[in-house]
Amino acid sequence: MVHATDGGWLAQWAWLIVVVPFLAMAVIVFFGKRMPRKGAEVAVAAMGFVFVYAAVLLILNITQGVIYEHSVQVAQIGSVSIEWGWVVDGLSTMMYFVVGTLSFLVFTYAIGYMKGDVRVTWFFAAFTFFAGSMLVLVSAPNLMQLIVGWEGVGLASYLLIGHYWEEKENSSAGMKAFYTNKIADIGLIIGAIVLGTAVGSFRYSDILDAAASNSSVLVPVAVLAGVLLFIGAMGKSAQFPFHVWLPDAMAGPTPVSSLMHAATMVTAGVYLIARMYPLYAGMASDMRVLIVIIGAITLLIAGLLAIVQDDLKRVLAYSTVSQLGYMVAALGAGGYTAGLFHLWTHAFFKGLLFLTAGSIIHAVHSNNMSDMGGLRKRMPVTFWSFTSASLALVAIIPFAGFFSKDEILATLGHSGYTWAMWIGILGAFITAFYMGRAMFLTFFGTYKGDAHVHESPAVMAVPMAILGVASLVAGWVNIPGVYEGFHHWVAVRAITFPSFASEGFDVPVMLTGLGFAIVGVIVAYVAYFRDADTQFARDRIRIPVLWPLLEHKYYLDDLYLAVLVNPIKGPIARAVNWTNSYIIDGIVNGAGVVARLVARFVYGDLDQKGIDLAVNTAAIVTGSAGEQTRRLQTGKVQQYAAMTVAGAVLLVIAIVIFT
Amino acid sequence: MSLVQFLVLGAFMFSLGVYGLLIRRNAVMVLLAIELMLNAVNLNLIAFEAALRTAFAGGQIFAIFVITVAAAEVGIGLAIVLLIFRNRRSANVDELDVMRW
Amino acid sequence: MMGGWFAEASNWWFLLIAVFIAFSALRVVTATNVVHSALFLVGALAGTAGLFLLLGAQFVAWVLVLVYIGAVIVLFLFGIMITRAPTGPKVEVDHSRRGFAATAAVLTFAVMVYSSVSAFGHTEVTKVGTGTATDLIGTQLMGRFVLPFEAVSFVLLAALVGGVTLARRDTPGEGEEQ
């Protein structure tokens, strides 16, 4: 059992982590334009707060362990209760820390990167909204709130990818991301509904309780729910075949790519599976092989795609997809700690890689590596940060990625997915190859462009340096056999599962992986280092069939375009338009026509002939009564006298008779 | 003498005055009928005085007042008839119907 | 009762004068000639004065003769003269609808007679004896009834002034520029 406290007032006030970014967003929206830095200072301050609070919570979890959950009912729909709350436990404190640290550093970097941009205030508002939504997602104690946060980060992604929407392809990229995610979200939502209706509640604690105790209500739906939720995770975490949006998402500004599409948003899928792990480890474990397959396929094909890219950010994007494949495969194989550990280290070094890419792009004014080269001397901080992160990514000891990737490979091997392990080792070779290629083409040789290249300002350089150090040390929190802190941290949760221990040092696997990685670097060196000057060395290793296939991304995008997009744009859209114009509009117009007829009837018959007749008759009767009564006023005095006498006489007679 | 005989006579005169008031066309004849009515009233007053024998001769004094007022009224009435005659060249009451609808 | 009624002498006088009055009054309202109508009114008034004497109200009787017959009727005759009322015998002096007026008159008479008889059927009028002393009337006028007396004098003043104002011929251009 896990020993933990309830976190005291720190956990009770943890909702501030979620709320402060939204408050900051409101301040930026209303007052940002008038501020000296256009709202950026508010955003950074908010993220700083989040970072500090998250660090405190992490320390609390490390020292004492904390399990806390609080929900308030927000609405009641039939028998379904919609709740809002927050969770503080091992998994969520780790995520808070990742989000908080990366957000704080990337926001600071963005102050420098977005300087002079046409929409700085809007950018920071959307970015802060993203951070808030991500925190909603990871703090959610129930599936409904998770979906709210999920959609929120999806929206933020769309907005920020399309930040430079003046170019059509940028807004198209945003839409592509949104649509791909939305299709995958079908799985998430249906899965959530399936689980919620089976268990009767959307709360994690109720669902995972039922899962952990093999409850009979979940028996028919557990595997189905597992598959559906995984489909949702595939969308957000860019697994094959939903990975197509991530490379195009590089159209957004680099801070966005760093924070959202490397460190945080894309990890939401991984987080979801980790959160629902009692389900995946127990009742839904039959479908986990599917997860491993998808993860393995993803890591392989994405790695291959990274080799042929000219755009530096796209290399990193495919690298991200590949690494996400590693995380997903690890989780599928039962490696709860392994997958999360790689998420942790990947956030630091991949986030850094994007920041350095942004630094280079900012200096060179081009994304393409064919315009770069020889930047090592001119941008030293960038170069060394890039190197540190690359070594972490390639998984060279003692950098961070080594420990996490090794753990994954060991997990895959030990849980019977040996074929996946070998794919992972091959992937290590590929990773080393494309990162080596990227480094040599960018920083070595001679500079092929004509911009005035200089190092980035301090506001950008300092976060890079910090992350550079992190890329080295982040892995040291879980050294098997020496210090297994991370494993213990993330195991602190209310509902546990058959425990998968942190894998020990599996020396053969470790050495094999390391060896493949080093080989990859050497091959890249051979291929690109020496001839980086004279000729773009891609031509040399251009394998005839494989290269065009890779360049066209396996023709997947074309397939999607032909099968999904064009049918919808063409015939389906036309059919829907016809239905709308003739059937739906016909009904609405028909209602209008009916209303007109009714109105005509009401006006003509009811009102004019009926009611007006009554009213006019009353008026006419009154008028004629007046006309008749008028005749009394003849002006003839004798007539008046006659009437007076008659009246008096009658009155007297009446008195005489009745008294 | 019974009181009733005087009252009946007075009533007779009064009724005749009413009749004349209502049917006469000439304004002066209407005024004459009114004088007849007033006379009937006087007769009633004196008759009651004689029957009741008040210490202060109230009925007679009242009758004096009636006579006086009647005189004033005839004066004004005839002045008005005169004016109407000047304006319209006729004393026919049927033609005095301007104040009507 | 009826037999005893004729026993008194005053009743015979009453009957005589009453017939005279009734005839005169009738002719007042049925005469076609205005001057005849006025003269018959004189008759009715004279008869009334006689009745007053019979009842012992001498002062009132002579006031009636003086004021009413002497001044009012004369005034009437002047008015008749000035308004040139049609004095020929062939003139239509009455309205065509006499029935309503007759009904009203008859009803009036009936009601009044009925009321009088039912209320005062048994009241007797005693002869006044020497009649009411004139000085009694005088002192009452100046004493008890001084207020109405003064008021009536105002009425007479108003009538005087009003009559003069009404009957005055408007001369053009007079009295407007002040």
The answer to whether C74 contacts chain B (CB < 8 Å) is no
What is the three-class DSSP state of B26? strand
Residue B96, domain member (yes or no) = no
Calculate how close chain A gets to B56, using CA atoms only, in Å.
30
Residue B101, domain member (yes or no) = no
The answer to whether B30 contacts chain A (CB < 8 Å) is yes
Closest CA to A490 of A162, A93, A8: A93
Quick one: pLDDT at residue A537? 54
Q: What is the pTM assigned to this prediction?
A: 0.63
The answer to whether B96 contacts chain A (CB < 8 Å) is yes
Task: Give contacts of C114 with chain A, Cβ < 8 Å.
Answer: 656
Average pLDDT of chain C is 83
Residue B100, domain member (yes or no) = no
A378-391 pLDDT, tens digit per residue, is: 888 889 999 999 99
Give me the domain span that covers residue B53.
3-90
B3-12 pLDDT, tens digit per residue, is: 899 999 999 9
Quick one: pLDDT at residue C178? 39
Task: Give contacts of C16 with chain B, Cβ < 8 Å.
Answer: none
Residue B43, domain member (yes or no) = yes
Angle, in degrees to the nearest 10, between helices B3-23 and C34-55: 160
Quick one: pLDDT at residue C132? 65
Q: Which amino acid is at A194?
A: V
Q: Which residues contact A395 (CB under 8 A, 6 or more apart)?
A: A401, A402, A404, A405, A406, A428, A431, A513, A514, A517
Quick one: pLDDT at residue A4? 73
Alpha carbon A543 to chain centroid distance?
37
**Residue that is written with structure tokens 């028998």 in the block:** A79
Residue B98, domain member (yes or no) = no
CB contact under 8 A, A645 and C104: yes
Calculate how close chain B gets to C82, using CA atoms only, in Å.
7
Quick one: pLDDT at residue B39? 96
Chains in contact with B, where contact requires at least 3 CB pairs less than 8 Å apart: A, C
Nearest to A638 among B22, B98, B100 (CB): B22
Quick one: pLDDT at residue C2? 61
What totals of helices (H) and strands (E) does chain C contain, helices first?
8, 0
**Overall number of domains in chain B:** 1
Quick one: pLDDT at residue C177? 43
Nearest to C104 among A649, A652, A656 (CB): A649
Calculate how close chain C gets to B56, using CA atoms only, in Å.
6
Region of A373 on the Ramachandran plot (φ > 0 left; ψ -120 to 50 alpha; else beta): left
Region of A481 on the Ramachandran plot (φ > 0 left; ψ -120 to 50 alpha; else beta): left
Alpha carbon A563 to chain centroid distance?
26
A198-249 pLDDT, tens digit per residue, is: 888 898 888 888 888 887 877 788 888 899 999 999 999 999 888 889 988 9
Residue C130 has phi, psi (to 5 degrees) of: -80, -5
Residue B7, domain member (yes or no) = yes
Closest CA to A391 of A335, A457, A475: A475
* Interface mutation target, options B15, B19, B22, chain A, most CBs of A under 10 Å: B22
* Interface mutation target, options A630, A633, A636, A656, chain B, most CBs of B under 10 Å: A636
Calculate how close chain A gets to C104, using CA atoms only, in Å.
6
Helix or strand run (H / E) with residue A231: helix A222-236
CB contact under 8 A, B46 and C117: no
Quick one: pLDDT at residue A53? 93
Closest CA to A337 of A506, A475, A231, A489: A489
Residue B99, domain member (yes or no) = no
The answer to whether C75 contacts chain B (CB < 8 Å) is yes
Nearest to A634 among B18, B23, B100 (CB): B100
pLDDT class for C174, splitting at 50, 70, 90?
A: very low
pLDDT class for C176, splitting at 50, 70, 90?
A: very low
On the question of pLDDT at C167 being above 70, the answer is yes
CB contact under 8 A, C95 and B23: yes
Residue B63, domain member (yes or no) = yes
Looking at domain C6-87, which of 1.20.120.1200, 3.40.47.10, 3.30.70.100, 2.102.10.10 is its CATH number? 1.20.120.1200
Q: Which residues contact A557 (CB under 8 A, 6 or more apart)?
A: A244
CB contact under 8 A, B82 and C82: yes
The answer to whether C79 contacts chain B (CB < 8 Å) is yes
CATH number of the domain residue B33 falls in = 1.10.287.3510
C3-16 pLDDT, tens digit per residue, is: 667 777 778 889 99
CB contact under 8 A, A656 and C100: no
- The whole-number average pLDDT for the span C139-147 is 90
- The whole-number average pLDDT for the span B54-71 is 90
Q: How far apart are CA A25 and CA A29, in angstroms?
A: 6
Closest residue in A to B26 (Cα–Cα): A638
Looking at per-residue pLDDT, the higher value among C168 and A232 belongs to: A232
Interface residues from chain A to C (CB-CB < 8 Å): 638, 642, 645-646, 649, 652-653, 656
Q: How many CB pairs under 8 A join A and B?
A: 32
**What are the residue ranges spanned by the domains of chain C?**
6-87, 133-169
The answer to whether C59 contacts chain B (CB < 8 Å) is yes
- The whole-number average pLDDT for the span C25-51 is 93
DSSP string, A545-561: THHHHHHTGGGHHHHHI
Chain B, residues 23-82, CB within 8 A of chain C, namely: 23-29, 31-33, 35-36, 39, 42-43, 46-47, 49-51, 53, 56-58, 60-61, 63-65, 67-76, 78-82
DSSP string, A50-105: HHHHHHHHHHHHHHT-B-EEEEEEEEEETTEEEEEEEEESHHHHHHHHHHHHHHHH
Nearest to B28 among C18, C34, C108 (CB): C34
Q: Which residues contact A233 (CB under 8 A, 6 or more apart)?
A: A184, A188, A239, A268, A269, A270, A272, A273, A328
Q: Which amino acid is at A407?
A: E
Q: Which amino acid is at A382?
A: T
Which regions in chain A score pLDDT beneath 70?
1-3, 481, 498-505, 530-545
Q: A311 has which bridge partners?
A: A368
B30-51 pLDDT, tens digit per residue, is: 999 999 999 999 999 999 988 8
CB contact under 8 A, A630 and B99: no
Q: How far apart are CA A51 and CA A46, in angstroms?
A: 9
The number of residues in chain C equals 178
Outline where A240-335 has alpha helix (H). 245-248, 254-258, 268-275, 277-281, 288-307, 312-332
Task: Give contacts of C97 with chain B, Cβ < 8 Å.
Answer: 23
Give the number of other Cβ atoms within 10 Å of residue A15's Cβ.
17
* Interface mutation target, options B74, B85, B94, chain C, most CBs of C under 10 Å: B74
**Residue that is written with structure tokens 């304006």 in the block:** B87
Quick one: pLDDT at residue C99? 82
